Structure 1
Amino acid sequence: MAKKYVHIHRLRRVYTWELPVRLYHWLNALVMVALIVTGFYISNPLVISSHQEASNRFVMGWMRAIHFIAAYIFFFNFIFRLYWGFVGNKYANWKQFIPTGKFFFKEIWQVLKIDILQLKGKEHLSVGHNALAGFIYFFTFIAFGIQSLTGFGLYASMSNWWLPKLFSWVPAILGGDIMVRQVHHWTMWFFILFVVIHVYLVFYHDYVEGRGETSSMVGGWKFIEEEAFQKDQQTAPDRRVLTDEKK
């Protein structure tokens, strides 16, 4: 009888997501929820009947205040992420998001086959973001910029602070406040769609790969096959990558 041999992967514990990246991620998730909820209310407010004085039911004012505070946090958090793309480790670097060669597009096609056709046997591709995820995040950064421009462009006419007034040119470029609001609203729906797909794929890849995909954005560590890690280091070595071997 022929003997069957089971290959046991040698795993390496790799510190993938640095603390600033994790803080950026969760803070961004929180303010995006606040912006979407308050944005929906501002665009289509509810009629609230009450026997109280109108001055005691300043719902729209609170919604706008929360929206503006969340917008400032969103903006400065975005600026910080742009900066960290140059000073962070290799998994936060801009090279993770911009196609730099044929291998990038080859991996995108491989991930599409895994995600859409549920191809088995080639799930372990990248230590940090896979190529498809990185490429999609690149478009989200563009969308972040669009939301910042259109949001502060709308706010410029009613604010006394110099920062929003820097964006007063946006309505003139886009043809007025109505078009700016439309672009702002359409981009919001991009983020809603992105969040739904993002959450699904994180849990799906966590299931098929078993690398701690979900928990890595809390603690920063992933469990990576030794072969995959060595391949990753050969293509783009980084001395600041922290590791710990596990069997």
Structure 2
Amino acid sequence: MATKYLRIPRLRRVYVWELPVRFYHWLNALAIVALIVTGFFISNPLALLSNKDASHQYTMGWFRFIHFAAAYIFFFNFLFRLYWGFVGNKYANWRQFIPTSKRFFREIWVVFKIDILMLKKNGQQQEHLSIGHNAMAGFIYFLTFIAFLVQCLTGFGLYAGMSTWWLPKLFAWVPALLGGDILTRQIHHWSMWFFILFVVIHVYLVFYHDYVEGRGEMSSMGGGWKFIEEDVFEKNLHQTPNPEKTDEKK
């Protein structure tokens, strides 16, 4: 009887996600959850029936406070991530997110066929393997950064009229540009649904790739390390800038 053997490639332990990137990721996740939950209550306030004086009930006030506090965390965390895209290692570099070559677009198409169409032919399942983000993930994160910007502009634009601090007032021009608070609020609300959809897909794909590839995808955002096939590591070493900034262990 024929016996089938599973080929186990030689793996290299690679330090991919630096501590600032991991800190940004989890802080951003908490801020987005807080913004979504409180945003729902702000858009559809609770009808509280009580015989207590209104001044003793600050339920919606707390929702607004948490929303505004999370918004500031989200905003400055976003600015930090933009900065780290220039000073971090090559896996955090802005080149990982913006299509700058034909290879980038070719890899997007390969990942699309494998992740979406479930096609695995001619060995292409190996072509999409990257150490950090694959091309499609990087490009989707680039679109997400644009959505981050839209949320910050519209959110602080709505807040500018009620704030006494100079920072939100810098965005007072946004509602005027968009034609008023109503459309600004609608865009802000629609963008929230983009984040909800993104979170669902993001969590699914993380579990999917961790199961299919077995490279420590989930644990990497906790400790920073991934397990990369030796041939994939060598290929990526010569395709991305600043190879000397990569830490790895066999």
Tell me the equivalent position of 1:131. 135
The answer to whether the aligner puts 1:205 opposite 2:205 as a matched pair is no
CA pair 143-7 structure 1, distance change in 2 beyond 3 A: same
Which of 212, 228, 237 is residue 224 of structure 1 equivalent to?
Answer: 228
How many residue pairs get aligned? The number is 245
Tell me the equivalent position of 1:187. 191
- Distance, in Å, in 1 between the alignment partners of 2:211 and 2:3 is 29
* Matched ranges for 1:1-247 at <5 A: 7-120=7-120, 122=125, 125-237=129-241, 238-245=243-250
- Distance, in Å, in 1 between the alignment partners of 2:230 and 2:147 is 36
- Distance, in Å, in 1 between the alignment partners of 2:12 and 2:50 is 61
- Partner of 2:12: helix, strand, or coil? strand
- Partner of 1:211: helix, strand, or coil? coil
What TM-score, normalized to structure 2?
A: 0.94
- Distance, in Å, in 1 between the alignment partners of 2:188 and 2:212 is 36
User: How much has 1:219 moved relative to structure 2?
Assistant: 0.3
* Contact 2:24–2:81 (CA under 8 A) maintained in structure 1: yes
- Distance, in Å, in 2 between the alignment partners of 1:239 and 1:196 is 35
Q: Choose 148-157 or 123-132, whichever is displaced more.
A: 123-132
User: How much has 1:2 moved relative to structure 2?
Assistant: 8.6
Q: Read off the aligned partner of 2:93 and give its amino acid letter.
A: N
What TM-score, normalized to structure 1?
A: 0.95
User: How much has 1:3 moved relative to structure 2?
Assistant: 8.7
- The two structures, once aligned, show a CA RMSD in angstroms of 1.6
- Partner of 1:157: helix, strand, or coil? coil
- Distance, in Å, in 1 between the alignment partners of 2:8 and 2:55 is 68
Q: Percentage identity across aligned positions?
A: 74
Q: Read off the aligned partner of 2:204 and give its amino acid letter.
A: Y
- Distance, in Å, in 2 between the alignment partners of 1:75 and 1:172 is 21
* Contact 2:46–2:60 (CA under 8 A) maintained in structure 1: no
5+ residue gaps, structure 1: none
- Partner of 1:45: helix, strand, or coil? coil
Q: Choose 88-97 or 118-127, whichever is displaced more.
A: 118-127
5+ residue gaps, structure 2: none
